[in-house]
Amino acid sequence: MADEEVELSDEQKKEIAKWFLLNAPAGEIQFVAKDVKKILNDDELYHEAASEAFPQYNKSHMICIEMPGRVGDVIITPFNELEENEFLDPRTAQVAIIDNIKQVCTEVRHALDEELPSAYVEEFRYAVDMEVSRYVGEAYPKGVCSVYCVNGKDAEGPESDFELAVVIAAARHSPQNFCNGSWRSTWNIEFKSDFQSLEIKGKMQVGAHYFEEGNVQLDAKHECNDSTVLQAPEDCAAAIANIIRHHEAEYLVSLETSYSNLPDTTFKDLRRKLPVTRTLFPWHNTSQFSLTRDIAKELGIGK
């Protein structure tokens, strides 16, 4: 007797829809959403799933959205989220109101004084932003970056601690060539006055999707730590940019090396080294097997 089909509840359908949306490769969530909406065939249920999934997806992929009036671009991250759908752009001191599902900026307002860092913190934030922007312009052809104060934004002098977050994102979307890819890195920098030092924690993530006559995805992650001494804003910024440059270049080289060695390492390990008999096949003397003799006899080989 065949198993009876069990109808999924609306909550289960919503969770499945969210899973597909959240796991969409870089630059492909709108394509996935179109199919998910068609499969659900329920506009209200789709809107519930999309309303929960899109904000998470946009922040995790650090998508960049253009603000109206050519004011600039805003990167969607957890670090610059003020309220629901509101994201600060510290370079322009503007707050972008985002439609997460459509992935567009619908409105811009001036940031309030309490939403911006103090003049002391801003001096460091601005210097780091300038140095990192220079690096990103050299390293990533379509890269964007920003620097946010995530802790201690009201610090007023050298005796105060605060924390900056550097985000770097670059994407290359080419669906017509069946491939999309993205680079995302975040760098949390703690300014510790007691020790006159900077503690730096980095996270890097590379994603790629190739889907020409197949479906292959890459999702690689790497974390690292570093430190440097607390100096004047310009000197700190130069040291931070050099540390980021060093670790990201090192990680890219390690990725290139590991994937160039795939045929000789990983792929070879996936293959069975010996047949189930645990004996190598004697290609030099196949005549010992009856099947070989039978084929030779039928074909008249060796007569």
* Helix locations, 10-83, DSSP H: 10-22, 29-40, 43-60
- CATH topology agreement for domains 1-60 and 117-267: no
Kindly state the average pLDDT of the residues 61-81: 93
Q: What pLDDT is stored for residue 167 in this prediction?
A: 98
Kindly state the average pLDDT of the residues 200-204: 97
How sure is the predictor about 1, in pLDDT bands with cuts at 50, 70 and 90? very low
Please write the tens of the pLDDT for every residue from 81-99: 999 899 999 999 999 999 9
Question: How many Å apart are CA 182 and CA 170, to the nearest integer?
Answer: 6
Q: What pLDDT is stored for residue 233 in this prediction?
A: 95
Please write the tens of the pLDDT for every residue from 227-247: 999 999 999 999 999 999 999
pLDDT at 5 over 80: no
How sure is the predictor about 70, in pLDDT bands with cuts at 50, 70 and 90? confident
Question: How many Å apart are CA 66 and CA 161, to the nearest integer?
Answer: 33
Grouping H, G, I as helix, E, B as strand and the rest as coil, residue 293 is helix
Tell me the pairing of strands 179-192 and 197-210.
Answer: antiparallel
Is residue 248 within 8 Å of residue 204, measured between CB atoms? yes
Take residue 211 and report the two structure tokens written for it.
């889907």
Average pLDDT score, the chain: 88
pLDDT at 165 over 70: yes
Most confident of 19-23, 155-159, 191-195, 251-255: 19-23
- Residues of the chain with pLDDT > 90, as a percent, come to 68
Rg of the Cα trace of the chain? 27
- Residues of the chain with pLDDT > 70, as a percent, come to 85
pTM for this one? 0.83
CATH class of 117-267: alpha beta
- Domain coordinates in residue numbering, the chain: 1-60, 61-115, 117-267
Single-letter amino acid, residue 294: D
Helix-helix angle 10-22:43-60, to 10 degrees: 30
| CA-based nearest residue to 88, from 115, 62, 113, 70 | 115
- Topology (CATH level 3) of domain 61-115: Ribosomal protein S3 C-terminal domain (3.30.1140)
* Helix locations, the chain, DSSP H: 10-22, 29-40, 43-60, 119-139, 233-260, 266-270, 290-299
Helix/strand/coil percent split, the chain, to 5: 40, 30, 30
Single-letter amino acid, residue 125: R
pLDDT at 159 over 50: yes
Kindly state the average pLDDT of the residues 196-213: 92
pLDDT at 289 over 80: no
Q: In residues, how long is the chain?
A: 303
Instruction: Determine which of 111-120, 137-146, 179-188, 274-283 has the lowest per-residue pLDDT on average.
Output: 274-283
According to CATH, what is the number of the domain 1-60? 3.30.1140.60
Q: What pLDDT is stored for residue 153 in this prediction?
A: 93
